[in-house]
Amino acid sequence: MIYSFKDKTTQELFQKGHAKRLDKELCKKACKALDRVQAATRLEDFYFPPSLRFHALEGYTPKRFAIRVNDQWRISFAWDEGAHEVLFEDYH
């Protein structure tokens, strides 16, 4: 479950299904990934399917995790009995 967002664009994507600066296809994929984060009740929920490429991010305290939206974009979040500071971000 998502408890908080790190920025307004991610929150807008989750609540409205689109964001002003992003194209429709990317919004659709991002919303699908955000729905997965919302539905998760434990970190193990991200292990399948492997195409999510779920992984821990290094160098963050508290620890952050990420799932893949496409080759360029990820959803990252901290986890404490749910997702906190959820962020849709460009990895490149």
Residue ranges per structural domain of the chain: 8-90
pTM, to two decimals: 0.93
What's the mean pLDDT in 31-39?
98
pLDDT of 36 strictly over 90: yes
How confident is the model at residue 21, as a pLDDT?
A: 87
Q: What are phi and psi of 8, to 5 degrees?
A: -70, -35
CATH code of the domain made up of 8-90: 3.30.2310.20
Distances (CA, A) of 89 to 41, 81: 22, 22
CA angle 68, 71, 74 (to 5 degrees): 35
* Rounded Cα distance, 79 and 51, in Å: 20
* pLDDT score, position 51: 92
Quick one: pLDDT at residue 41? 97
| Distance, CA of 17 to CA of 83 (rounded, Å) | 19
Instruction: Read off the pLDDT of residues 45-92 as tens digits, 9 standing for 90 and up.
Output: 999 999 999 999 999 888 999 999 999 999 999 999 999 999 999 987
**What order of strands is seen across the sheet that includes strand 55-57?**
55-57, 64-68, 73-79, 83-90
* Mean pLDDT on 10-38: 96
Nearest to 32 by CA among 3, 8, 67, 81: 67
* pLDDT score, position 61: 80
